[in-house]
Structure 1
Amino acid sequence: MAASDLEIRAAEDELRRGFQTLEVVQKDPAVPVYHIYLNRAAQRNALTVPFFSELPRALSLLSVLPSARALVLAARGPHFCSGIDLEALRSLTPSPSPSPAAAADLLRGRILSLQAAISSLERFRKPVVAAIQGACVGGGVDLAAACDIRYCSDDAFFVVKEVDLALAADLGSLQRLPHIIGYGNAVDLALTCRRVSALEAKAMGLVSRVFPSPSALEEGVDQLAKGLAEKSSVAVMGTKAVLLKSRDQKVDEGLDYVATWNSAMLMSPDLEEAVAAHIQKRKPNFSKL
């Protein structure tokens, strides 16, 4: 169901008021693409406790806007993300409790809440492109892995850091990376905690393209996002939903799911418009969602 004008204005107003850890920008009002910037450059965009409530809130607001047909996740400063802030990590640990079971249950709830914040990128219905420069470490890899497409500059490097902190990564890298780069590569990165260059990340499929500089990365990602925003939102959202659903299903289950999806979505006027535009050799005018 499309949002009402009142809901759209309320979402735009809240986005304008801003966030503590994020900056949300629509660079060109004529281009239906929004950028979410991690905005703690002095701290190498380490993820603090407020981030984990602000990211899903920003995404919820953007989901209301017809002008947000594609999203870029990027970062201010020379580094994408250095991982979870150590103070935030300490704050996860419950105070001493006479009941180990109660303490474990509390900690589990806190971890699930952080996981949900990262997964909100994956669950955002429109395509999300990660633009990665400099360090992408720990929680930064979790964020990147939850995006749909990943581009980086040639100075980028990636580290799954948690084992070196005496932890098992628990925000999504161990679940998503095997699907992205293969099980063997995922085990290598997760157990060794070694630094992976941009070119190696490209070779293993962690990123799709490598650009010669952060400015070239920004330009390339903006072109990609603009192109995605020009496509049928019905088709793009359906493709994303089906890919995610099929990732964790057997082929037969995935085929059944996409049949169910398209039994409704193929009745979209976007299909008729796409065919007409192709025949008439013009740019299609897709519906806004």
Structure 2
Amino acid sequence: MDNYEKDPGRRALQTRDFLLSFQHAISATERCPIPVIAAIHGAAIGLAVDIATACDIRYAASNSSFSVKEVDIGLAADIGTLARLPKVTGNQSLVQELAYTSRNFGASEAKEIGLISKIVEGGREEVVKAALETAKVIATKSPIAVVGTKRVLLHSRDHSVADNLEYVASWNGAMLQTADLKSSVQAALAKKKASYPPLGKHFSKL
């Protein structure tokens, strides 16, 4: 037997490292500078809820169902659901009910509690189409403004109003120098759609 098999402490450390790596992977959508839209269809169970809660926008097909399933297999949901779902829904009591019972809930309840923002009639094809339509709208906006908005919104989730106001002041203090601002104003005055250059190459934050 190697040290991993013989020693509980070593097993615990390796398990912890694995879980932290897994959490980091699932959190990639949060670290992605541009918004990520989840198009949910069918059964979203356990890990699927972890992934969905890390996305910026969540749509669900009318055939969707959800379950925080981990308690049924003898563990606490450890990849993101228990950290994010209370913030997403703003209802600690409900999240605790869902996590303790692992009961299924449908798209209507998911929208009611704020887990998703739109129910799309149909299945995979329809919800993916709806997500792509929203993505196309976002893609017409200033990428500087979109990236900044995502960062400020994520910051606001975990900080006080005062801290977030200071953060956005510092952010815009730098980002208001962008030519996108002038392009947006000129396009609005001319009643035309603005055109923005791509962000270009930058180091991945994932």
| Length-normalised TM-score, structure 2 | 0.92
Counterparts in 2 of 1:191 and 1:95: CA distance versus 1, 3 Å = farther
Give every structure 1 segment of 4 or more consecutive aligned residues whose post-TM-superposition deviation is greater than 4 Å: none
Distance in 2 between the 1:270 and 1:185 partners? 42
Distance in 2 between the 1:198 and 1:246 partners? 27
Match of 1:211 in 2: 120
Distance in 2 between the 1:218 and 1:145 partners? 17
Match of 1:118 in 2: 26
* Higher RCO (CA < 8 A, seq sep 6+): 2
Which of 95, 98, 102 is the matching residue for 1:186?
Answer: 95
Q: How many residues align?
A: 196
**Given residue 278 of structure 1, which amino acid in structure 2 is its aligned partner?**
A
| TM superposition shift of 1:159 | 0.4
Distance in 1 between the 2:3 and 2:181 partners? 56
Which of 110, 130, 135 is the matching residue for 1:220?
Answer: 130
Distance in 1 between the 2:177 and 2:8 partners? 55
Distance in 2 between the 1:241 and 1:167 partners? 32
Which of 184, 188, 191 is the matching residue for 1:278?
Answer: 188
| TM superposition shift of 1:180 | 0.7
Q: Any stretches of 5+ residues in structure 1 without a counterpart?
A: 1-93
Q: Any stretches of 5+ residues in structure 2 without a counterpart?
A: 200-206
SS where residue 77 of structure 2 aligns?
A: coil
Distance in 2 between the 1:156 and 1:173 partners? 18
Is the CA contact 2:44–2:65 (under 8 Å) kept in the aligned structure 1?
Answer: yes
% identical aligned pairs? 45
**Given residue 143 of structure 1, which amino acid in structure 2 is its aligned partner?**
I
Distance in 2 between the 1:259 and 1:95 partners? 52
SS where residue 97 of structure 1 aligns?
A: helix
**Given residue 174 of structure 1, which amino acid in structure 2 is its aligned partner?**
L
| Length-normalised TM-score, structure 1 | 0.66
Distance in 1 between the 2:44 and 2:185 partners? 42
SS where residue 136 of structure 1 aligns?
A: strand
Q: Comparing 105-114 with 94-103, which one deviates more in the overlay? A: 94-103
| TM superposition shift of 1:134 | 0.3
Match of 2:85 in 1: 177
Distance in 1 between the 2:40 and 2:116 partners? 9
Is the CA contact 2:4–2:10 (under 8 Å) kept in the aligned structure 1?
Answer: no
Trace 1:140-159 onto structure 2 (pairs within 5 A): 140-159=48-67
Distance in 2 between the 1:278 and 1:95 partners? 67
Deviation readout 1:89-110 (Å, 9 max, x if unpaired): xxxxx98533322211111000
Is the CA contact 2:3–2:10 (under 8 Å) kept in the aligned structure 1?
Answer: no
Structure with greater proportional helix content: 2
Match of 1:288 in 2: 198
Counterparts in 2 of 1:288 and 1:96: CA distance versus 1, 3 Å = closer
| TM superposition shift of 1:216 | 2.5
| TM superposition shift of 1:185 | 2.2
SS where residue 174 of structure 2 aligns?
A: helix
Residue 186 (structure 2) pairs with residue 252 (structure 1): no
Match of 2:69 in 1: 161
Distance in 1 between the 2:10 and 2:59 partners? 42
Distance in 1 between the 2:140 and 2:159 partners? 30
Q: Pairwise CA RMSD of aligned residues? A: 1.4
